[in-house]
């Protein structure tokens, strides 16, 4: 359960973020925006703290990779979680290049925009 911050925003719990990330099936994507909307709806508030949500997303990605190196699976398809605007997360294990490879393996077209990457037409794939 998240900690309430007034009537308008909730401070997310890491387990809430991870649970949403785990539910994103192959062929679908989610962004931090959708994660915050889902958590806010669960708590009957207007929004969630995107800063802490972002930290928990990155932590989940690193935990999943660490477990994989140890021959275990946390079943967190973190690469399907994008930053707002469909951008790839440079803080994921291996940076944007690794994130790009994982998405392309699932058939997504990843475009470069300046120093960043984004999934083409990401809105069509949102959960």
CATH of the domain at 8: 1.10.10.10
Domain count across the chain: 1
Q: What is the pLDDT of residue 112?
A: 97
Kindly report, residue by residue over 42-57, the tens digit of the pLDDT.
Answer: 999 999 999 999 999 9
Please enumerate in sequence order all residues whose Cβ is within 8 A of that of 70, keeping only pairs 6 or more positions apart, or say none. none
The domain in which residue 82 lies consists of: 3-125
CB 46 within 8 A of CB 8: yes
Task: Give the Cα separation of 27 and 88 in Å (integer).
Answer: 16
Say if residue 85's pLDDT is above 60: yes
Q: What kind and span of H or E run contains 85?
A: none
Q: Is the pTM of this model over 0.95?
A: no
**Where residue 88 falls among pLDDT bands split at 50, 70, 90?**
very high
Could you tell me which residues come within 8 angstroms of residue 95 by beta carbon, excluding any fewer than 6 positions away? none
């Amino acid at each position: 359960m998240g900690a309430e911050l007034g009537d308008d925003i909730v401070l997310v719990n890491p387990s809430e973020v991870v649970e949403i990330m785990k539910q994103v099936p192959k062929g679908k994507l989610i962004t931090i925006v959708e994660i915050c909307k889902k958590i806010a709806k669960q708590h009957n508030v207007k929004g969630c703290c995107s800063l802490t949500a972002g930290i928990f997303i990155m932590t989940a990605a690193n935990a999943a990779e660490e477990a994989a190196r140890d021959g275990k699976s946390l079943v967190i398809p973190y690469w399907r979680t994008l930053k707002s605007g469909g951008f790839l997360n440079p803080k994921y294990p291996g940076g944007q290049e690794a994130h790009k490879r994982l998405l392309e393996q699932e058939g997504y077209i990843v475009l470069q925009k300046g120093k960043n990457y984004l999934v083409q037409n990401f809105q069509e794939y949102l959960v």
